[in-house]
Amino acid sequence: MGEFKVKFRGVRGSYPLAKKDFLKYGGNTSCVEVHVNGHLIILDAGTGMIDAGNELMKQYIESGITPKERTPINATVLISHIHQDHILGFTFFKPLHVASSVINVFGNVNYNETLSDELATLLFGKSFPVDLGDIAGNLNIRDLSETEGIILRHGEPPIVKRIENEEDEKVSGDDVLITCYRSYAHPQEGVIIYKIAYKDKTLVYATDKESYKGGDRRLAKFARNCSLLIHDSQYTTEDYLNSYVPKQGYGHSTFDMALECQQQVNAEKLVFFHFDPSYDDEKLDLIKEQYKYTSDKAILAYEGLEINLL
């Protein structure tokens, strides 16, 4: 049986921080690295993606003396949405600038634009020295609808297939299946929730979404009995309901909402994720203490955290 390992590269929301009081949990924005049965999947391209790219480059250089002898870098990048904290690391992902790299990027913005056009506008051209079309690596950007899934199979490029029912979501052999749906519980155009399935294990990545009263029924169905749920936990309940600066409608959940979702979903493990940038190590330590009774099933994310699902 192959591997299914998850490594957290960036766990912060809104914007990155470089301060001594944020070293324990980390100051980089959203990025989760997944190694599953020989495939590399990167969830979101926040500033945490930069370190992931640096390590990949080190492995690439060590794999051979000359470029022709080296093992090319092949990655599938899944973008949840194009807010700055989820794409800031993309242009500084060094494998993009190596000719032998193959980087397949999937996401969806809305019905009027393409992900490729939006990334070109936001990250390249006037805001970066290189245009999107001048990237040295083999960069393939594709819009993905919630009626489509991605099959990762050895020796083949990603296969996009139509997902119409639960039968289509069954994973066969050594295939890795990625499915998704769009949640509109985040302004302005929603966010893509992803599920990665391999063998009998599933990872659900649900960042930047606000919960509803009684929970999110669609997410509960999508993530039912998952092995690992990575869920937005930007605020404490006190901050969320603050009478002076309430956070309702900001498109983010609380730790309590994430915990409620885990219970509804029956997820084996929950990782609290996407912390507010004002929450320093001391604040997060206090939150960790508050939820220590859940520690066998729910933990706080931090940079470098690794979880093996097999």
Helix%, strand%, coil% for the chain, nearest 5? 25, 30, 45
Whole-number pLDDT of residue 262: 96
Q: Is the pLDDT of residue 29 over 80?
A: yes
**Cβ atoms < 10 Å from Cβ of 165:** 6
**226: alpha, beta or left? (left if phi > 0; alpha if psi -120 to 50):** beta
Whether the predicted pLDDT of 1 surpasses 60? no
Q: Which two tokens stand for residue 246?
A: 């309430």
Contact 46, 88 (CB under 8 A): yes
- C-alpha 241/C-alpha 4 separation (Å) is 38
**pLDDT value, residue 167:** 82
Helix (H) or strand (E) holding 258: helix 255-265
Q: Which of 2, 36, 26, 1 lies closest to 205 in space, CA to CA?
A: 36
Residue 172: pLDDT band (50, 70, 90) is confident
- Measured CA to CA in angstroms, residue 13 lies from 85, 150, 277 at distances of 7, 27, 6
Residue matched to tokens 């990655």:
75
Report, as an integer, the average pLDDT of 287-302: 94
Mean pLDDT to the nearest integer, 26-32: 98
User: What are the tens digits of pLDDT across the range 221-259?
Assistant: 999 999 999 999 999 999 999 999 999 999 999 999 999
Query: How do residues 84-102 score in pLDDT, each as one tens digit?
Result: 999 999 999 999 999 999 9
Mean pLDDT across the chain: 95
Pick from 67-71, 142-146, 184-188, 221-225: least confident: 184-188
